[in-house]
Structure 1
């Protein structure tokens, strides 16, 4: 059965793009929609202007031409009537009738134009009057004077029709100008209104697309920083981003599982190593103490070296155990006032055999400094940095430990005269299980696990401070740990 979350996601998918390409195309379509509306509005007004101007040209030219033609025909009819009155030729009546039919046809053409202000009934009345004059002239040729008088009246009517036509053209021209002004106003409104809308849509859609990308980058950064506690959820308008978020969360779960397996392996192996190492250490201690018989000077020296390296292995295994426990959970600090100088002296005494064997001299702070910190973690910081210096310092050289305190906190430096740390390694060596490239100076020295400096960094960061390799001469190494004053520590 499909989980409810998957069903909801599938339903939601019907209302949104399923791929990033679909989202981009939808974004382009939404941004382009106002522009399409503006273009459509512009085309509508352009078409309207075109149709009005075309109609105005056709009707204006037709009205003017037909009005002039009517006036000319009426003049011809009057001339034919006057000639008939003088000459009495019947052919002139036929010519009059033909001219009257031309007037009627022209009036019908004017009626078809549908000119505002020029009613059809006036045109029809004039047409009937023209036909009546022809009938009257055929029926009573002697009454031609009445026909001529009617033609004068018709000429006046035709002049009025021409005036109506010109007024109609002017009205249509005014309407055309108003439409053009309206179109210009609408286009300006579209320009100034749609541009901000398009920009706002582009910004909103850009944010909509960029937000899940930022969440993905943040999730990857969180994974890279080792924070596996929070589930990864990508809030996105695209189903494809959901799948990316699911794969990232699957990766987080896998990393959590692998981290747990690694910590379990470290704990088991550390405990397994400590059991035989305890027997070796006990035996080397008996040899050094002479409990098993007197040893010669070379034998005693070898026994001491075995005992010293056994103690160092024990310390390394303890570091592994501590590192595993810190990775499992954040342990609260046990803050107390501590004589840091005395703590350093105690740690230096623990490594006296290595110092004697290699002719190393460790210079410790002369001034006693009291500072509030976690004593156990400070012991680990001093022990790991001192062990690191003893490992890489040349034989018969000096190691200098400095301690200073100010308003910002406590600064602790360990300086040896070794080959130095390459700049490319200065950040990397503080990561767990990372080791620098410089070789250890002691021939019989045990290779480190690569977690000593990681323990130093975590102890410093637990106090709200930091650990670093300070810039110095290439022929010496300077390790610096800063622990802020308790009043300046976050949380």
Structure 2
């Protein structure tokens, strides 16, 4: 049967899980009906044989009394009464023996009863006493046989009840276990489409590129959601391509007019086209500052765009001292202008990383420390190994970063509240580039408290050598 909706799947699973419980209820009712029928039959049997046994005892007493009277009186009417009592006694005895199925006690009493039918021929008291004593003994033996039969039936009834109880326990355990299995299976059938949706959402979030195929079977509601998620993934991919293209073209196209503006400013500054007055020099200074700011923004856009296009890092052994030296030379002008000194501590000489990504991390963190750190203060750079990670701490003095702002600073186009030392308004991409570079190398970046500095950025990159050792 094809399940067409989530409601139908839930109802069918619930109905299937109820089947063992319904079977258990039906069996319980059947067992109770069987016990009730057996108990009713036994009660009827007990009432019948007890009543017959009492009648036989009463008839036996009457027969004995009448025969003794006949031995004294010798009356024909008494003789007829004795024969009627013997006939009634015989009928009751036959019925009781048929119910008891006790051959020995019944046959003895039946033979004794037939012999008592010749009571008229008994002349002596001694002979009569002997026959009546034997008759009483046989009646008592039959009474004991009745008690034995009743006891046996009670024992059989108790055994039957115990057997039914044991059967009910096992049936309950087996059917309850089967019902539990069916419930688990039904819950899996219900949860399976949601697992497919979770995988699809995870693939969209991770931007794996290839999404799981659309399912052919399942509830129509979830299939509709799955198709919508595929459409959403395609739309997000289109938007990502548009964003990448926009950044690429905008940053590239801005370079050409920016170069022309800088060249014009340089010509004016050198007074090639004529001498400038004081007002013109002030305007030129403003123009140069704006040009530098625009150049910084374009370079950050180019870095961010290049980072978006890099899919997989190339991990190689990288000499830290050489990489840091190249980075410091590039930032030497900014360091000298702000009278900064970099305190470098290298506990390890080389690490296995992507050198280009690590260089971007170091460039942006160093630029951030120069731009936002306190002037005339030392910048601390410490690289060491901890557990299965390489750790790089870049710390500086300045205004501490509030706890609620720390995570937000690593988002694209997000800027802090502190003012830059160079009076240039950044694009808010530097720290996001650091976070993306660390993520590409399966690492992470965070802001931590430092013992001797106000602000410390910590980059942790996995140590492939220790993790594979």
Is TM > 0.5 for Structure 1 vs Structure 2? yes
What secondary structure is seen at the aligned counterpart in 1 of 2:417?
Answer: coil
- Give the Cα separation in 2 of the matches to 1:210 and 1:429: 42
CA distance 1:54–1:40, change in 2 (3 Å): same
Q: Does 1:454 align with 2:438?
A: no
CA distance 1:234–1:193, change in 2 (3 Å): farther
- Give the Cα separation in 1 of the matches to 2:229 and 2:429: 23
Q: Does 1:330 align with 2:316?
A: no
Whether contact under 8 Å (2:248, 2:302) holds in the other structure is: no
- Give the Cα separation in 1 of the matches to 2:104 and 2:244: 109
Residue 53 of structure 1 deviates from its aligned partner by 5.2
Residue 487 of structure 1 deviates from its aligned partner by 1.9
Among 145, 151, 154, the alignment partner of 1:173 is: 151
Query: What residue is the counterpart of 2:305 in the other structure?
Result: 321
Whether contact under 8 Å (2:16, 2:182) holds in the other structure is: no
Whether contact under 8 Å (1:403, 1:410) holds in the other structure is: no
- Give the Cα separation in 1 of the matches to 2:113 and 2:297: 132
- Aligned residue pairs total 453
Query: What residue is the counterpart of 2:325 in the other structure?
Result: 342
1:130-169, aligned counterparts within 5 Å?
145=122, 156=134, 159-160=137-138, 162-169=140-147
Among 240, 245, 250, the alignment partner of 1:263 is: 240
- Give the Cα separation in 2 of the matches to 1:436 and 1:47: 85
CA distance 1:402–1:270, change in 2 (3 Å): same
Query: What residue is the counterpart of 1:4 in the other structure?
Result: none
CA distance 1:19–1:486, change in 2 (3 Å): closer
1:3-18, aligned counterparts within 5 Å?
11=1, 13=3, 18=8
Whether contact under 8 Å (1:460, 1:466) holds in the other structure is: yes
Query: What residue is the counterpart of 1:58 in the other structure?
Result: 47
- Give the Cα separation in 1 of the matches to 2:398 and 2:307: 27
Whether contact under 8 Å (1:80, 1:93) holds in the other structure is: no
Gaps of 5+ in 1: 1-10, 138-142
Q: Deviations over 1:250-302 (max 9, x none)?
A: 35423431331222112221233235422332134214533675266545543
1:210-221, aligned counterparts within 5 Å?
212=191, 215=195, 219=199
Q: Does 1:281 align with 2:258?
A: yes
Query: What residue is the counterpart of 1:5 in the other structure?
Result: none
Whether contact under 8 Å (1:385, 1:453) holds in the other structure is: yes
- Give the Cα separation in 1 of the matches to 2:259 and 2:247: 18
1:54-453, aligned counterparts within 5 Å?
54-55=43-44, 57-79=46-68, 81-85=70-74, 89-107=75-93, 109-110=95-96, 114-118=99-103, 129=114, 145=122, 156=134, 159-160=137-138, 162-181=140-159, 183-184=161-162, 187=165, 191=169, 198=176, 202=180, 205-206=183-184, 209=187, 212=191, 215=195, 219=199, 222=202, 225-229=205-209, 231=211, 240=219, 244=222, 246=223, 249-250=226-227, 252-290=229-267, 293-294=270-271, 298-299=282-283, 301-326=285-310, 329-333=311-315, 336-337=318-319, 339-349=322-332, 352=334, 360-366=338-344, 370-372=349-351, 373-390=353-370, 392-393=372-373, 396=375, 398=377, 400-406=379-385, 410-431=390-411, 433=412, 435=414, 438=417, 440-441=419-420, 445-448=424-427, 451-453=429-431
Whether contact under 8 Å (2:113, 2:135) holds in the other structure is: no
Q: Which moved more, 1:147-156 or 1:50-59?
A: 147-156
Whether contact under 8 Å (2:200, 2:211) holds in the other structure is: no
Residue 335 of structure 1 deviates from its aligned partner by 5.3
Whether contact under 8 Å (2:409, 2:432) holds in the other structure is: yes
Residue 198 of structure 1 deviates from its aligned partner by 4.5
Among 458, 467, 478, the alignment partner of 2:445 is: 467
Instruction: State the superposition RMSD in angstroms.
Output: 5.0
Whether contact under 8 Å (1:361, 1:397) holds in the other structure is: yes
Residue 25 of structure 1 deviates from its aligned partner by 5.9
Query: What residue is the counterpart of 1:23 in the other structure?
Result: 13
Q: Deviations over 1:380-438 (max 9, x none)?
A: 212332344455446x464724132347664333334454333234334434x362563
Q: Which moved more, 1:269-278 or 1:404-413?
A: 404-413
Query: What residue is the counterpart of 1:8 in the other structure?
Result: none
- Give the Cα separation in 1 of the matches to 2:413 and 2:177: 51
What secondary structure is seen at the aligned counterpart in 2 of 1:482?
Answer: strand
Whether contact under 8 Å (1:456, 1:467) holds in the other structure is: yes
Residue 68 of structure 1 deviates from its aligned partner by 0.4
Whether contact under 8 Å (2:214, 2:226) holds in the other structure is: no
- Give the Cα separation in 1 of the matches to 2:301 and 2:66: 132
